[in-house]
Amino acid sequence: MSTSAQPAAPVVASEHGFVRAIGLFDGTMIVVGSMIGSGIFIVSADISRLTGSPGGLLLTWVLTGVLTVAAALSSGELSGMFPRAGGQYVYLREAYSPLWGFLYGWTLFLVIQTGTIAAVAVGFARYLGIFFPAVSPNSFIVAPIALGSRYAISLSVQQLVGIILVLFLTFLNTLGVRLGKWIQNIFTSAKTLALLGVIFLGVFVAHNHAAITDNFSHLWTVRNPVLIAPGANFLTRMFPTTTAASGVFGLFVAFGVAQVGSLFSSDAWNNIGFTAAEVKNPKRDVALAMAFGTVIVTVLYFLANIAYLCALPLAQIQNAPDDRVATAALQAIFGPVGALIMAGAIIVSTFGCNNGLILAGARVSYAMAHDGLFFKATGKLNSRGVPAIALGFQGIWISLLILMRTRHVSASGAVTYGNLYSDLLDYVVFSAIIFYILTVAGVMVLRAKRPNADRPYRTFLYPMLPLFYILAASAILCVLLFYRTQTAWPGLVIVLLGVPVYWLWSKRSKPGIPAP
């Protein structure tokens, strides 16, 4: 990002009683900690199956990193213009209209933020179960109760541990942002060191000569790619089933679909914008934290995949049990003990990830309440300067998402259960990318609408960088629309359901005073 000709903006005054306690290092830790969960340890298996080559695996993460950094650098200009609680919700509201801000906040609260927290919490419990077998998904306190033919509700020990984690971190974050940031700093530092340890062990200790020769001597040789079929039957005539070995079009589709896992693993970089009201110098530090955090995570993710390729042949990455690539890499070094080491690292990672997500997410509900578009009580701060009621609403909804199950009946009549939040997250990936495109485009919209507005930072390489992101992300959307149709359209339905909700809420509530 380049600075404007104006002198650096002074520290912004406290907003509505928030405590400005987050510095640049703290903000960077929120970005890094919220981005790194369990995805980097798992999704490379699916990416390697889709792209079919070591080079394809690495290039997927490079493309994701470039897109993420481009979005962060572009959004940095908006964070300097609107250093307020709510972040991306505020940017969309100011660039377009309150409706667009609400649709984002609605989807964020309903699925994006809360569903991610639920998934990470259950992931924490799943890996804790490696050390304590009683934490099992099959040990039920309340056996599944059917809610119609497709849904159920249950409470297993694993679900209970996930809920306890969410409520515990929610409680800690009601005690003030200073405690929340220290928890984030400690656990993000620990998880970063753990990921660096995985990288070091994979590259320098495992050093599997056969794997290195096989992977890097045939970097772009496509092996055993999975078939990628159109997402709906009526599309099969226009868009054929393809693989990464089917030429340029097949590669384009494979890389587009592969971005789902890597982009989701690189998400939440925008969370520091939600907490801008608590950043000491938000006009400078929010943008810098986004930039530094995304660059750090991008480098770590790329090096982690280098480590996987140094420790394991591509076939083992593609067929890692339960897609646990990092666990397979450590098992190659330490044997069964490697699984325990990796489980410990993921427990630390998921704990820190959820703290950052819980801390930041409630600030969007707070901002919406101040616009009269969410429950009025969520727009209040407690005596410690945090939106405790918004945190409580968020924690309750996450707990419900963890309790809710999907119900599947096979042809033989056997019943199996999935997690509702997993399906919802699959649905909203498509919509989340749309919101990111709109946000980046908002930089250009506001340049036209408010040319004389104070911009402490201006987007680097404007307008080329925003245009690059918009075009590249739109290409990914097109691939997902045609090849992941079954998950794309339900996500749009979830977003569009917010339109009548917005209309009803705006009619029954007198708009409050937007956060200044």
Distances (CA, A) of 11 to 8, 279, 446: 9, 9, 23
Per the domain annotation, does 513 fall within a domain?
no
Per the domain annotation, does 7 fall within a domain?
no
Per the domain annotation, does 2 fall within a domain?
no
* β 151-156/415-419 pair status: unpaired
Tens of pLDDT, residues 233-271: 777 777 888 898 888 999 999 999 999 899 989 989 999
Per the domain annotation, does 53 fall within a domain?
yes
Name residues whose C-beta falls within 8 Å of residue 467's C-beta, 6 or more positions apart in sequence: none
Per the domain annotation, does 463 fall within a domain?
yes
Distances (CA, A) of 372 to 82, 408, 508: 19, 40, 9
Place of tokens 């339905």: 493
Q: What is the pLDDT of residue 15?
A: 58
Q: What is the pLDDT of residue 510?
A: 54
In angstroms, rounded to a whole number, what is the distance separating the alpha carbons of residues 255 and 367?
37
Q: What is the pLDDT of residue 511?
A: 46
Q: Coil, strand, or helix at residue 322?
A: helix
Q: What percent of the chain has pLDDT over 70?
A: 95
Q: What is the pLDDT of residue 5?
A: 37
In angstroms, rounded to a whole number, what is the distance separating the alpha carbons of residues 225 and 193?
33
Per the domain annotation, does 355 fall within a domain?
yes
Quote the tokens at residue 157.
């020990």
Q: Is the pTM of this model over 0.85?
A: yes
> Average pLDDT of the chain?
90
At 371, phi and psi to the nearest 5?
A: -100, 10
| DSSP per-residue string spanning 245-290 | TS-HHHHHHHHHHHHHHHHHHT--TTHHHHBGGGBSSHHHHHHHHH
Domains contained in the chain, number: 1
Tens of pLDDT, residues 190-248: 999 999 999 999 888 877 889 999 999 999 999 999 999 888 777 777 788 889 888 89
CA torsion angle for 511, 494, 69, 39 (degrees, to 10)?
A: 130
Per the domain annotation, does 395 fall within a domain?
yes
Per the domain annotation, does 30 fall within a domain?
yes
What is the number of H-type helices and E-type strands within the chain?
Answer: 20, 6
At 478, phi and psi to the nearest 5?
A: -60, -45
At 279, phi and psi to the nearest 5?
A: -85, 135
Structural domain harbouring 403: 16-508
What's 403's domain CATH number?
1.20.1740.10
